[in-house]
Amino acid sequence: MRIAVYGSRRQDAHLSEIESFMKRLAQLGIEVVMHPKLYTYLRGVMLPALSAVRRVTDESDFSVDAAVSIGGDGTFLRTAMWLGKKDVAIIGVNTGHLGYMTTLGVDRLEEVPDLLMSGVLVVDRRGLIEVVEPKLTTWPFALNEVTVSKDDSASMITTRTMLDGNLLADYRADGLIVATATGSTAYNLSVGGPIIQPQTPVWVVSPIAAHALTMRPLVVSDRSELTLCPDARAEHFRLTLDGRSVSLPVGTEVKLRKAGFDVAVLHLPGATFSETLRNKLHWGVD
């Protein structure tokens, strides 16, 4: 078996768990492809434990059976981007804060190699948004959300929004979020958008600090095509995909569609979205 390992470099509090994890991989004969940023960090603190690492690369030209993401949800997003369009399932181990996608606690990291070998983990597929236009030089896909927003010092922007070629609305706000069901618990949640069960084939269109109270979050099919055209007094606006942003001239049309591939997420059997919400949002906790 061969796995890919990606992780945050802020792991000083969890070095013992990571070392045990790496040693267990070597014991089971599992080969590892590791991202160089994590490898450089670990090499300085636990070089002998890295014997299972067979390749270090930030390119996506490798073949693996599964992937492990060590960090928070942001790390999980970067893991998915590193893997690209490979149909490789990712298990997220949470060393961050909320962790909606990284639901396995770091205290169980040493168990991950055995869980992967046993085949007991369940695969959950998540859709992405593709930015069709404009052509971007960066990864044009988002697992959580795509956002158009004003420049830092600019006044609000007006985003003319077309749904399947038909005018939907002119959103006057600080910006507009188009979130996947997976991303409904991220930026969308913080601006008052609804929480969506991750497997639901929909997007949420949510204005950021809307000028009018009638501008409410809207749920649309993820088979739709959305076109966003921001207008503002400033010359530029920001287009952001899962935290990665570029500055574009006002008037640039942003066309969104469902990506032609999914991200596969691994989790323990019996784990449910209801349980995740209760634990992360403290619902029903006295």
Cis peptide before 134 (omega within 30 of 0): yes
Assigned token pair, 4: 């890919």
Out of 12, 58, 65, 73, pick the active-site residue.
73
5 and 32 Cβ atoms separated by less than 8 Å: yes
Verify whether residue 73 is a known catalytic residue: yes
Neighbour order of strands in the sheet with 202-208: 218-221, 202-208, 175-180, 145-150, 236-241, 244-249
Mind telling me the catalytic residues?
73
